[in-house]
Amino acid sequence: MSHTAHIPSHRKPRRGASKLALRAGVAGGVLSTLAVAGAAGPATAAEPVTETIELPTLTTGLSVQVAESAAATQLAAAQYELQAEQDAAAAKAAKQAKKDLAEAKRKAEAKKKAEAERKAAEERASRTSARTTLAAATSDVAAPASGSVATVISFLKAQVGDAYVMGATGPNAWDCSSLVQAAFRQVGVDLPRVSQDQSTVGTEVSLSSLQVGDILYWGGKGSAYHTGVYIGNGQYLDAANPSKGVVIQDLSGYPASGAVRVL
């Protein structure tokens, strides 16, 4: 045995024959492929291959889905169109309703105005008639022969121009009832102090039968708020108010509510 037999060799192990053969085969295959590609190259470039791609055939389920989608689209379009028509109709109806309401209000206002004018005309006619009747009934009334009435009227006319002061009793300022009381005191007739009580004394007379010296009152009998004295020819004398004082006025301009006679 050699003395080096036990030392392992440092050479690379030889590759197996099978591996070498495999590599040679692979290389050969590659070269063959390249050769074929090179030979086929000019032919391919000269005559391009045209391929026909066939689209897949729609299945029954897909056809149904497409049809349903189209139907849904058509339904949605119809709904949108219907909604648009309904909105237009509603807008038109609202516009017409607004127009009708305005017309109704205009007619109601016109009717109300006409009614107010009619009532005002009736009231004017009624006042005119009443004044005409009153003037006709009193214009020719003469003062009675009694000297007491003449004394009362004379006293009242002497106070024309005096001031009106609420609660005053003369001699240069009066209120309505104190002037009437003072005038009748001149002939010995003692009247109550206030208008309410003066409207209840003596004998009640109608306004169409007035005589000079009758006491006129305004307001209810027993609740009158003003008094004066009729002096003939459709006129009366009273302590009217702070702005007028003691004056002579036409009864037609401020018709009394009633009258009483004490002389």
Decide if 125 is inside a domain: yes
Are both 134 and 160 inside the same structural domain?
Answer: no
Are both 112 and 152 inside the same structural domain?
Answer: no
Decide if 22 is inside a domain: no
Decide if 69 is inside a domain: yes
Which residues does the chain have with pLDDT short of 50?
A: 1-2, 4-5, 7, 10, 17-18, 20-22, 24-46, 132, 135-145
Q: What is the CATH number of the domain that holds 172?
A: 3.90.1720.10
Are both 257 and 198 inside the same structural domain?
Answer: yes
Point out the domain boundary residue: 138, 172, 187: 138
Give the pLDDT score at 40: 46
Point out the domain boundary residue: 106, 138, 170: 138
Decide if 58 is inside a domain: no
Give the pLDDT score at 79: 86
Are both 113 and 191 inside the same structural domain?
Answer: no
Are both 196 and 126 inside the same structural domain?
Answer: no
CB 230 within 8 A of CB 213: yes
Give the pLDDT score at 257: 97
Give the pLDDT score at 11: 54
Are both 253 and 156 inside the same structural domain?
Answer: yes
Give the pLDDT score at 222: 96
Are both 72 and 169 inside the same structural domain?
Answer: no
CB 199 within 8 A of CB 224: yes
Decide if 35 is inside a domain: no
Give the pLDDT score at 78: 84
Point out the domain boundary residue: 112, 138, 164: 138
Decide if 17 is inside a domain: no
Structural domain containing residue 98: 63-138
Are both 87 and 106 inside the same structural domain?
Answer: yes
Give the pLDDT score at 135: 47
Which pLDDT tens digit goes with each residue over 181-195?
Answer: 999 999 999 999 999
- Using N-to-C axis directions, what is the helix angle for 176-185 and 147-158, rounded to 10°? 140
**Sequence-distant (≥ 6) Cβ neighbours of residue 259 within 8 angstroms:** 204, 205, 206, 207, 210, 214, 215, 216, 217, 230
Are both 199 and 128 inside the same structural domain?
Answer: no
- Gyration radius of the chain over CA positions: 64
Q: How far apart are CA 197 and CA 190, in angstroms?
A: 12
Which pLDDT tens digit goes with each residue over 73-116?
Answer: 888 888 888 898 888 888 888 889 888 888 888 888 888 888 88
Work out the burial of residue 195: count CB atoms within 10 Å of its CB; fewer than 13 is exposed, 13-18 middle, 19 or more buried.
buried
Are both 175 and 199 inside the same structural domain?
Answer: yes
Decide if 57 is inside a domain: no
How many structural domains comprise the chain?
2
